[in-house]
Amino acid sequence: MNGKRLLVVGGVAGGMSTAARARRLSEDAEIVVFERGPHVSFANCGLPYYIGGEIADRDELLLQTPASLKARFNLDVRVQTEVVAIDRANRRVRVRDLTSGREAEEAYDALILSTGAAPLRPPIPGLDREGHFPVRNVPDADRIKSWIKNGQARRAVVVGGGYIGLEMAEQLVRLGLTVTLVEALPQVMAPLDPEMASWLHAELKANGVALHLADPVAAFEAPDEGQAGAASVVVLRSGARLPADIVVLGLGVKPDIGLARAAGLEIGELGGIRVNPQMQTCDPHIWAVGDAVEVRHAVLGHWQLIPLAGPANRQGRIAADNIFGRETRYEGTLGTAVLRLFKLTAACTGANETALFKSGRPYQALHLHPASHAGYYPGASPIALKVLFAAENGLLLGAQAVGCDGVAKRIDVLATALKAGMTVHDLAELELSYAPPFGSAKDPVNLAGMAAQNVLDGYVELAQWNELPHLDPAQTLVLDVRSPQERTVGHIPGSVHIPLPELRARLDELPRDREIVVTCQSGQRSYFACRMLSQRGFRVRNLTGSYRTWKAAQSVARAA
């Protein structure tokens, strides 16, 4: 399509990656970008950090301007210009200048929709009260900073425990506000499984954030008499009333598909634009990318909405390639993501256990708590690592990790392994870099592979933390093999204590007519005990992740 006319609707990640790639493929094409907002290329993932002051200069968020894009890529970028209709039959769009109100028609050979997503706005009474803010663009950030400063806000309520909600809670604490986070689900950060999200619950509370889980907002009411400057009293379903000087709305997003729907393009069951692997819609002259589209989950294969910047950038590149005859395919989204929350990092990739269970696919779930780097080198800290793999052949299906250090590195390795179709046997054999400040000779990824191999090879059977409440004491004994000092700090109720070094000498204290579920602090010593006991004729299972995972999960169990 050299020399053809491309119109891109929407900037930021998907639209601008399409336009820039298109220019690199063709110097002759005419490329016009329409952006209804004031900024065509900004770092929306950086907005919370600008609000909190970690990013001090507002201009750092503005990655490119119409002038810089004209100079670098010869793009015709028109901000504050909205595309209001598509005439597919004549390949034209109607655009409106939002400053002057004038409308005009523009012809296209190829049209790329990067209309993004809009904040969810459920029908909650009082939602539109003054002092309530989404966090989607630079003007939103400006308004939040101004409201906090001018209103001398002291109490903030963040509604929603997703990425934006958690990042905003952290940054509002950094600004010195008293922060409450409200989440309708029993956990924050839904891509994590409950026991992994529980580490984030503890971190929020440790930093003074009041946490209301499984308790959705029922209404936003006017402040009580004498609460000058307050935004709302946030009323929860439980009846709790939370006075707020500012309310941050992190309720999630939905694809912005009004333009596509009005043009008769196919919309999927989840409400996103339906595209093929070339990012092409049902109209051969129209492509769509970014948060507005439904994508195939790379592990589970079903359609999903995964609004992430990395996939949007790749989709834009693939759309441009196909427009110019370079056949490339988008092979699906793994959902790889990372979050910083105070001192913790949480990251995930692939399918979580909740999704695998719903899909009916047989799987195994493994927990371990390896050190972030060599234990003898100062500063090592445990990583809570969860790996999910196919029960029949060990194919890697997903992974999650939470810790203070080394989390993103391990999830990035596991995301690469997922993309490559590796098994847990491959994880055990990966040759990863090692020096004491960075890792161990057996990296946590290697250890996860080795532990999974032990399961597949029949050396150990696993028990999960959420099985314990349902075990019949007449049929099952829970055995704690930790040291006496560890047990005094806390233990699983009803468990029997025999420290690992004493186990061989005290085998006659164990029943042979009941199953034994063995636990330690993290799962390694309990594995050693399982091997010992199974070779002596006992029926045993290892509590994967052991006491650390069980203890962390109790916050979610209580919320549920």
Distance in angstroms (rounded) separating the CA atoms of residues 551 and 460: 22
| DSSP alpha helix (H) spans, 346-440 | 353-359, 407-419, 424-429
- Could you tell me if 12 and 19 are in contact, meaning their C-beta atoms sit under 8 angstroms apart? no
What is the token pair recorded at 114? 């990067």
What is the token pair recorded at 313? 């950038």
What is the token pair recorded at 107? 């012809």
Distance in angstroms (rounded) separating the CA atoms of residues 197 and 214: 14
Whether 45 is a known active-site residue: answer yes
Which of 270, 394, 402, 279 has the alpha carbon at shortest distance from 339? 402
- Helix then strand count (H, E) for the chain reads 15, 32
Place of tokens 């690469």: 416
What is the token pair recorded at 37? 């907002």
Alpha-carbon distances, residue 127 vs 166, 226, 335 (angstroms): 20, 21, 30
Our CA dihedral for 435, 437, 440, 443, rounded to 10 degrees, sits at -100
Q: Give bridge partners of residue 367 from the DSSP assignment.
A: 386
Backbone angles phi, psi at 448, to 5 degrees: -60, -45
User: For residue 269, how far is the Cα from the chain centroid?
Assistant: 22
Residues assigned a catalytic role:
45
